[in-house]
Amino acid sequence: MLSTPHRPSPATRTGPADPPQDGAGSREARARAGRRGQLIAGFALCAALLMALHAQIPNGVGQLGSLFETFLPWAGLSVPVLLTFAAVRRSRIAAVAVIAPAVVWGSLFHGVVADKSSEGGDLIVVTHNVDEANPDPEGTGRALARSGAHVLALEELSSKSTPTYERALAEAYPYHSVHLGIGLWSTYPLRRVEPVPIMPWTRAVRATVDTPQGPVAVFAAHLASVRVTSLGFATARRNEAGRNLAEAVRAEQLPRVIVMGDFNGTNEDTALSPLTSQLRSAHSEAGAGFGLTWPASFPVVRIDQILVRGVSPASSWSLPATGSDHLPIAASLRL
């Protein structure tokens, strides 16, 4: 009797499986990945626009413009963060978009990072917020006496600590004057020393320094403090003090002017432009890096400034930390 060959049923058939079909699930996964890449790209473009248009960020609500500009250099950290997310998501669109904030940050700060210092200079100036709560004013005074500065501007002097600084600096600086927390010490004669009422109480001093190259007007100032609160960035008193100081500097008759001190604000903060627009930053022209000054333990912002008009900065640098919460800064100037 003939028998038919056995054929395996479909359930027991062996052999290579059919290739998987491109289903709705895989298409949805790719769509989600694409949306994630677009989201990262959107954040990158927003970061680029914020940095590029930082001067147009309004201060009407919580002084957000000043707050962003105070920490503007740190906005560059968005680049490696976004690039990491782009790599994790394997998104080419996001990776390309991160180029935008990188380019904007580079255009803003590439000149700051470079070392622009040079040799020489006729006058070395130092400014330092010595901190009322400084536990070692004597050590701070000795360090400043060794700084090599021709002119020292000290801010936040207390009635208790001022005699200590006067003793520590007496030998190196035969000329000095102190007005309500602001002091000037000089190796050259000081004249026409007078307080500048930038606030209801004096927080600035103006003096003529008679250098071998001729007279120089020197302003030492401490603008009002700012606070970050639940309502935003409180800068109204500081901004008013800055405008008052700007008026005094604008009225100065001597062609060579130095303005230095604790401004509680950065050069990028457009709220201080009435002052900074008529002067040049010694560090921007002759420094290296960002020159951050506060807090001294881990500086994140440069709120201490040396600004000039009618003189040329040769170099600018920070001095070692003292007992203060600020770093002292110095500049060598060509008169």
For 163-214, the pLDDT digits (tens) are 999 999 999 999 999 999 999 999 999 999 999 999 988 799 999 999 999 9
Q: Is 9 exposed, middle or buried (0-12, 13-18, 19+ CB in 10 A)?
A: exposed
* Residue 218 host element (H or E): strand 214-222
Domain 123-334 has CATH 3.30.390.50: no
Q: What is the pLDDT of residue 2?
A: 46
Torsion sign (Cα): 58, 62, 63, 65: negative
Q: Is the pLDDT of residue 324 over 90?
A: yes
Q: What is the pLDDT of residue 5?
A: 52
What Rg value do the Cα atoms of the chain yield, rounded? Answer: 30
For residue 218 the two structure tokens come to 């020197």
pTM of the model: 0.86
For 125-152, the pLDDT digits (tens) are 999 999 999 999 999 999 999 999 999 9
Q: What's the CA angle centered on 89, arms 88 and 90, to 5 degrees?
A: 90
How remote is the C-alpha of 2 from its chain's centroid?
97
For 294-321, the pLDDT digits (tens) are 999 999 999 999 999 999 999 999 999 9
Domain boundaries, the chain: 33-113, 123-334
Beta pairing class for 204-211 and 214-222: antiparallel
Q: Is the pLDDT of residue 19 over 80?
A: no
